[in-house]
Amino acid sequence: MDGRLNPATPGLVGRFVSGGAAVSRALGELAASGASLAATLELLAEAAERRGSLEDLVELVLTGPNMGAGRDTGVVVRQLFREARKSVWVCGYKLYNARDMFVDLARPELRVRMLLDIGEAEGQSEEAAVRRFLDDFRRWHWPEGQALPEIWYDPLSLLPSGENRAVAHAKCVVADNRYLFVSSANFTEASQNRNLEAGLLVESTALAHRMGEFLEGLIRERRVRPAWSNQLQTRTQQDLRPPPAA
């Protein structure tokens, strides 16, 4: 033995940190000095302790009879809406009498954006289908007398059933670019309180930001269109028109 520590292999290092190859090379360079390597490992151990466990960052969220396994879906969703301070993204498929759920979102200081499935046009024009959806949204889902949030929809959902039809089927919430909630539960009373549903609540600015960027990317790429936005008055119809077909 020459008193030097053998460097860890990339595979071994990769079990504990990402970028195992790069970290392994750095540890190999430090291996010439046992004292330096020991000090580095102590710093890494302290950082790992501060980072916390996966269970501290991710919560299991459930609807069903055995609530001992996780938090209740309806409680989590209402808490996210109530405690949000700056912004909320809501992506949902089915709505049913969602007014009680959305009551905490109707605050002037909160920017609320929603990507919702508005259903098939059923022979109506796109304009008429959107107007019908907004009428129902005001009547059944949004607090009476409050300004509507920004609402977006996928125009492919208006098509009749067939190979070209697509729907906004994701169910998720992004709150303050800090919390990401992804669930099987729709924004209906049954899904929030009675059905068998499962989801995850993640406290991660990185993941919340990435989900928000994905939704905003759909807007930039004109994959989705505005059903209602307070900014529509400052945008021209040309801005809102979808790109020409290839």
Instruction: Decide if 82 is inside a domain.
Output: yes
One domain, residues 38 and 70: no
Confidence band (pLDDT; 50, 70, 90) for 193?
Answer: confident
One domain, residues 72 and 36: no
Closest by Cα among 162, 185, 202 to 80: 202
Instruction: Decide if 127 is inside a domain.
Output: yes
* Mean pLDDT (the chain, rounded): 83
The two beta strands, 95-96 and 87-92, are unpaired
Q: What is the mean pLDDT of residues 22-45?
A: 66
Closest by Cα among 105, 127, 110 to 225: 127
Kindly state the percentage of the chain with pLDDT values over 90: 62
One domain, residues 101 and 222: yes
3, pLDDT greater than 60: no
The two beta strands, 150-153 and 111-116, are parallel
One domain, residues 26 and 141: no
Query: What does R_g of the chain's alpha carbons equal in angstroms?
Result: 24
Confidence band (pLDDT; 50, 70, 90) for 237?
Answer: very low
DSSP letters, the chain, are: --SPPPPPPHHHHHTTSS-HHHHHHHHHHHTT-HHHHHHHHHHHHHHHHHH--HHHHEEEEEESS-GGGSEEHHHHHHHHHHH--SEEEEEES-EES-HHHHGGG--TTSEEEEEE-----TTS-HHHHHHHHHHHIIIIIS-TTSPP-EEEE-GGGGSPSSTT-------EEEETTTEEEEES--EEHHHHHTS-EEEEEEE-HHHHHHHHHHHHHHHHTTSSEEEE-TTGGGS-HHHHSPPPP-
One domain, residues 41 and 76: no
Task: Say what the alpha-carbon torsion angle 194, 195, 196, 202 is, to the nearest 10 degrees.
Answer: -80
Instruction: Decide if 144 is inside a domain.
Output: yes
pLDDT at 52: 59
Instruction: Decide if 4 is inside a domain.
Output: no
235, pLDDT greater than 90: no
Instruction: Decide if 2 is inside a domain.
Output: no
CATH number at residue 143: 3.30.870.10
Instruction: Decide if 1 is inside a domain.
Output: no
- Decide which of 51, 69, 84 is a domain's last residue: 51
One domain, residues 181 and 226: yes
pLDDT at 36: 66
Report the DSSP beta bridge partners of residue 225: 153
In this structure, of 7-16, 23-32, 136-145, 208-217, the range with the lowest mean pLDDT score is: 7-16
Q: What is the 3-state secondary structure (H, E, C) of 135-172?
A: HHHHHHHCCCCCCCCEEEECHHHHCCCCCCCCCCCCCE
One domain, residues 231 and 184: yes
**pLDDT tens per residue, range 132-171:** 999 999 999 999 999 999 999 999 999 998 889 999 999 9
One domain, residues 106 and 195: yes
How far is it, in rounded angstroms, from Cα 95 to Cα 117? 9
One domain, residues 40 and 154: no
Report the DSSP beta bridge partners of residue 91: 115, 172
One domain, residues 131 and 25: no
Instruction: Decide if 70 is inside a domain.
Output: yes
How far is it, in rounded angstroms, from Cα 125 to Cα 158? 9
Q: Provide the whole-model pTM.
A: 0.73
Q: Angle of helix 34-51 relative to helix 20-30, nearest 10 degrees?
A: 140
Is the distance from CB of 139 to CB of 97 less than 8 angstroms? no
Instruction: Decide if 245 is inside a domain.
Output: no
CA dist 48 to 195, 197, 246, Å?
38, 33, 50
One domain, residues 44 and 87: no
Q: Which domain holds residue 47?
A: 10-51
pLDDT at 220: 96
**pLDDT tens per residue, range 60-111:** 999 987 666 788 999 999 999 999 999 999 999 999 999 999 999 999 999 9
One domain, residues 99 and 199: yes
Domains of the chain: total: 2
